[in-house]
Amino acid sequence: MASRTELQEWVIQALKAKGGAASIVDVAKHIWEHHESELKASGDLFYTWQYDMRWACTKLRERKIVQAAETSDRGEWRLQPQLA
């Protein structure tokens, strides 16, 4: 069963798989393609995971893993260059 905090690692995995940057939709697609069964078994998280994915990105920005929104294109998440 997946947890809200696990989504942070899934966001990082998705961004790395996309070369370090991706649209929010592409991150969601990647997470669904690779973690569908875990999401389906996650109780209420199944109904909120896309919202929680955005929460995860905010936490990753606070941890300086994902670039600030001001330095990325609208609707795009980008890993810090040293992590991509």
Indicate the pTM of the whole model: 0.93
Q: Per-residue pLDDT tens for 39-69?
A: 999 999 999 999 999 999 999 999 999 999 9
Does pLDDT of 82 surpass 90?
Answer: no
**Taking Cα atoms as reference points, which of 80, 1, 22, 2 lies closest to residue 11?**
22
Distance CA 53, CA 23 (A): 12
Please list, in sequence order, all residues whose beta carbon lies within 8 angstroms of the beta carbon of residue 27, skipping any fewer than 6 positions away: 11, 14, 15, 18, 53, 57, 77
Fold of 6-78: Arc Repressor Mutant, subunit A (1.10.10)
pLDDT at 80: 95
